[in-house]
Amino acid sequence: MRSSFFGFNVAVTGLYTAQRNLDVINNNISNVNTPGYSRQQTVQQALRPMNLYDGTGMIGTGVEVTAVKRVRDEYLDTMYWSENVTFGEWDTKRTLLSELEATFNEPSNSGFTQIMDEFFSSLQELSKDPSSEAVRALVKERGVTLAKYFNDMATRFEELQVDINDRIETTVERINSIGVQIQQLNKQIYTVELDGSTANELRDQRTLLIDELSKLINIEVNEVAVGKLPSGRDDVRMTITISGKAFIDHFNLSKLALVQRENKLNEEDVPNLFDIKWEDGNSLKITGGVLRGYLDVRDGNSGLNGSPVYKGIPDYIRKLNQFVQTFAMAFNEGYIDLDNDGVIDPVKNPAEDGKGHVDGYGIGSAADLGIRFFTMLGTENKSISSSDFIGGASDPAAISARYSNITAKNFAVSSDILDNINLIATSDTKDQVGNINNLRELMKLRNNDQMFVEGAPEDFMKSIVTTLGVSSQQAVRISANQEVIVKQVENRRLSESGVSLDEEVANMVKHQQAYSAAAQMINTMAEIYDILINRVGV
């Protein structure tokens, strides 16, 4: 015996199911361009059939939608995150190094080589006319240009360091803000899913946030079952760890904090840079992501003093400092560390004390030995005199030690020369205006390939520029490769979870027709009942 209106009920479940399906398709189509959205699918199944007890077996009772699930391959998410962290790191380095390259401005007609060329050209001109005030003034100005070039470079590097420091601050704030949002989403997802359903949209939002987080810092994401819920499902909790310590543990968040350094990491650093720590004061090891890129470029000093093993800004400043110290010492004193043992020791190696600016005389009444061409900026950014600079040091070891006070930032032409261009020491004998024996010794320094381990002054600077070029090229290549990999994983995710309009529209037609058919079924049933009720036995 069947119930009278059984047919209606079956048709109605068909209508409802078709509608539900269309709802999901509608939602998919609406979200086709929503970032991070994963397409949803209904899970529909036939209703429990009725037993007929008359030997005919069972009869179907219609259809129902049991769940709406999102289509997502979480393995691809994990893969995306692990590739994105490398991309974040190298893409950052690429950007920063290209800024460094712009600072060096090589090869060009206004970079270091040009300035060095012009300085030595002015010496050459002076050698041809050592008595000319005009040429002496030219030498002074070219010397000032050379010094200013290094001041300018050092200042720009420091500005970049401060700039990166600011960016680190912003990035850490962003990480914390993402942390707070994920923490909130964890609560919502956990609550929603207590009854066994899946929080599709919320999970999509959380994945999108983790996508962003994975670019910023190295993270490891886990969802682990810690027990069973009353409903029988696993009690799944989510953790995000950074280098082994939990950043987010279910509902708990440990934020990152910025601490101003009391002591500089590198002596070349600007003061008060930030260290990144956990809010509870524990130290944090950052091994990847945008933050790592920032830290490497801001602090990298080839691993000296515990700095990152990367050639970052301090490394370039240190090399510029080394250049101006060595160059100034060779030019002023004629000291060249020939055996590279770090000290000037003319007793052991007399050739280490060659002729320099101090060994010559200028012209005019004030001309005397012992004038340094280059010194450094003192208070109020005024360049100091030779005697103040050398501070009474008399033996080579003590004098050469004074040069460690010079940095690229404070490199300057001495006040003696600035005040009196006639003190430029061209002559090796007093009162001989045409004597250029000392100047010739100075000019020879340009091609002195023993001044630096790398060779002559220009070779040293060339090696800095080449090193930077190679580093930058490496960053460009790695970030380009990594970008391809990230894009590929992203494509695989889109392939899995993205909305295909064709597919949705095809399904739409399918369910639309199922709906029409079910409606038609109701018509048919209505006709049957019309016959039964209105015509039979009347």
Partner 1 sequence: MRVTNNMLINNMISNIGKNMSRMETYQKRLATGKKISVPSDDPIVAARALKLRTDVSQIEQYKRNVDDALSWLEITESALNNIGEILQRIRELAVQASNSTMTDDDTEKTAEEVAQLKDQLILISNSTYAGRYIFSGFKTDTKLINDDGTFAITVEDTESIIYEVGVSDSININVLGGQLFNNGGEAVTGNKAYLIDIMDQFVAALKSGDKSAISNSEGDSIIDKIDNQMNNLLAIRASVGARYNRLELTADRLDTNRLNFTKLMSENEDVDQAENIMLLKNEENIYRASLAGGSRIIQTSLVDFLR
Chain residues binding partner 1 by CB under 8 A are: 32-33, 97-98, 101-102, 104, 106-107, 113-114, 116-117, 120-121, 124-125, 127-129, 131, 427, 429, 431-436, 440, 443-444, 447, 458, 461-462, 465-466, 468-473, 475-476, 487, 490-491, 494-496, 498-502, 505-506, 509
Question: Minimum Å distance from CB 95 to partner 1?
Answer: 12
Instruction: State phi, psi for 411 to the nearest 5 degrees.
Output: -60, 135
Toward partner 1, which CB reaches closer, 126 or 175?
126
DSSP 8-state assignment for residue 173: H
Which residues is 411 bridged to in the sheet?
376
Closer to partner 1 at the Cβ: 110 or 231? 110
CB-wise, 30 or 429, nearer to partner 1?
Answer: 429
CB contact set of 77 (below 8 Å; sequence gap of 6+): 207, 210, 211, 221, 493
Closer residue to partner 1, CB minimum distance, 187 or 444: 444
**Please, which residue, 217 or 486, has the CB nearer to partner 1?**
486
Supply the minimum distance, in Å, between the C-beta of residue 439 and partner 1: 10
Per DSSP, 281 falls in state S
CB of 312 vs partner 1, minimal distance in Å: 16
Angle at 241 between CA 239 and CA 247, to 5 degrees: 80
Nearest approach in angstroms of CB 509 to partner 1 is: 7
Going across the sheet that includes 234-242, the strands are 220-228, 234-242, 245-249, 252-253
Measure Cα distances from 363 to 92, 405, 427 in Å. Answer: 55, 29, 8
Please report how close the Cβ of residue 513 comes to partner 1 at its closest, in angstroms: 12
Name the region of 86 (left: φ>0; alpha: ψ -120 to 50; beta: rest).
alpha
Q: Shortest Cβ distance from residue 501 to partner 1 (Å)?
A: 5
CB of 216 to partner 1, least distance (A): 22
* Residue 223, H or E segment: strand 220-228
Residue 495 CB, nearest approach to partner 1 (Å): 5
Which of 447, 523 has the CB closer to partner 1?
447
Nearer to partner 1, 320 or 461 (CB): 461
Tokens of 226: 């810690």
- Give dist(CA 385, CA 392) in Å, integer: 12
What is the dihedral angle through the alpha carbons of 101, 104, 106, 111, rounded to the nearest 10 degrees?
A: 160
Is 509 in a helix, a strand, or coil?
Answer: helix
**Least CB distance to partner 1 at residue 335 (A):** 21
> Could you tell me the smallest distance in angstroms from the CB atom of residue 432 to partner 1?
4
Give which of 92, 84, 90, 73 is closest to 219, Cα–Cα: 84
Tokens of 244: 């082994």
Nearest approach in angstroms of CB 434 to partner 1 is 4
- For partner 1, the closer of residues 178 and 451 by Cβ is 451
Q: Rounded to whole angstroms, what are the CA distances from 310 to 65, 162, 304, 413, 472?
A: 57, 18, 10, 33, 12
Phi-psi region for residue 275, left (φ > 0), alpha (ψ -120 to 50) or beta? Answer: beta
Q: Go through 269-290 and write b for each residue having 16 or more CB atoms within 10 A of its CB, e for each that does not.
A: bbeebbbbeeeeeeebebebbb
Question: Judged by CB, which is closer to partner 1: 109, or 534?
Answer: 109
Identify the three-state secondary structure at position 317. Answer: helix
Instruction: Output 172 or 499, the one with its CB closest to partner 1.
Output: 499
**Cβ nearer to partner 1, comparing 186 with 427:** 427
